[in-house]
């Protein structure tokens, strides 16, 4: 439990965005950060809500989605520990641009807009780090938009699975303190905890189309699908479906 400001400060120091703060400054931010916990599936906020809070993921994972009036949802991104969300409303003063929910039990630190803005004024290097994150999210969004527009369902689902494989590998490498980003694809079995609907939402396809392609992959021995999970046996083979 992180009830003490000291513990929160030590934790904040590990987030890349705050690494330039001194111990004193970290303690000041930590005193303002409110720990929150969400159950699996719990909505943290909804698209259109008005709020002046930003969040940093401490543990677990959150999913950012947009829902069409027809009921279909599109997953824009999933964020892991250390990532910030809720900053767009802070910058543009509009309502929430998307809904955010906990994929699994998740804890966050919540910071109010006025407190973050004060830190940004005295530490412009933090603003630059936030810009770098925004730039890479915009790139990822462009990538997704291009895939959605130009790629058939098979390529989108294969890209989605590959991205999940890479995310699981990065998490595993971080957990054992190993260096990541060295290798590319290795022939190691990876378990993705996601339903076929989750995969379809991430790929921006209907559940039926995603399920049909997953069945093709299963027949080809590339994956095995089970209840709420997909086991990828041959990640490299997924690349053959991506054009």
Q: Give the binding site for ligand CMP (CB under 6 A).
A: 64, 76-77, 85-89, 96-98, 100, 137, 141
**Separation CA 180–CA 72 (nearest Å):** 35
Q: How far apart, in whole angstroms, are the C-alpha atoms of residue 194 and residue 11?
A: 29
Select 65 or 205, whichever has its Cβ closest to ligand CMP.
65
Given the complex with ligand CMP, which of 98 and 102 has the nearer CB atom? Answer: 98
Q: How far apart are CA 240 and CA 178, in angstroms?
A: 29
Q: Between 28 and 67, whose beta carbon lies closer to ligand CMP?
A: 67
CB of 215 to ligand CMP, least distance (A): 29
Give the whole-angstrom CA distance, residue 134 versus residue 206. 28
Nearest-approach distance from CB 40 to ligand CMP, in angstroms? 19
- In the complex, what is the shortest distance from the CB of residue 88 to ligand CMP, in angstroms, rounded to a whole number? 3
Helices (H), the chain: 5-14, 23-32, 87-92, 113-122, 124-150, 153-175, 196-203, 207-219, 235-238
Q: Which is nearer to ligand CMP, 170 or 191 (CB)?
A: 170
Beta carbon nearer to ligand CMP, 141 or 188: 141
The C-alpha angle 96, 98, 101, rounded to 5 degrees, equals: 110
The distance of closest approach from Cβ of residue 129 to ligand CMP in the complex, given in angstroms and rounded to an integer, is: 14
The CB-of-167 to ligand CMP minimum distance in angstroms stands at: 14
**Rg of the Cα trace of the chain?**
19
Structure tokens that stand for 218 in this block: 């299963």
């Amino acid at each position: 439990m992180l009830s003490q400001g000291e513990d929160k400060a030590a934790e904040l120091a590990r987030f890349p965005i705050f690494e330039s703060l001194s111990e004193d400054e970290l303690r000041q931010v930590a005193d303002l950060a409110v720990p929150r916990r969400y159950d699996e599936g719990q909505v943290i906020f909804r698209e259109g809500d008005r709020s002046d809070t930003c969040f940093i993921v401490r543990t677990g994972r959150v999913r950012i989605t947009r829902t069409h009036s027809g009921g279909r949802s599109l997953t824009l991104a999933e964020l892991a520990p250390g990532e910030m969300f809720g900053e767009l409303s802070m910058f543009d003063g509009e309502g929430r641009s998307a809904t955010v929910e906990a994929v699994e039990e998740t804890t966050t630190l919540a910071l109010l807009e006025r407190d973050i803005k004060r830190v940004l004024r005295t530490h412009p290097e933090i603003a630059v780090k936030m810009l770098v994150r925004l730039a890479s999210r915009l790139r990822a969004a462009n990538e997704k938009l291009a895939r959605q527009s130009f790629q058939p369902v098979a390529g989108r689902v294969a890209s989605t699975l590959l991205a999940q494989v890479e995310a699981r590998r990065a998490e595993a490498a971080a957990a054992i303190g190993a260096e990541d980003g060295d290798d590319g694809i290795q022939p190691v079995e990876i378990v993705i905890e996601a339903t076929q609907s989750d995969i379809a939402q991430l790929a921006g396809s209907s559940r039926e189309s995603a399920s049909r392609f997953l069945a093709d992959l299963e027949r080809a021995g590339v994956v095995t699908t089970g209840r709420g999970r997909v086991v990828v046996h041959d990640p490299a083979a997924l690349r053959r479906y991506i054009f």
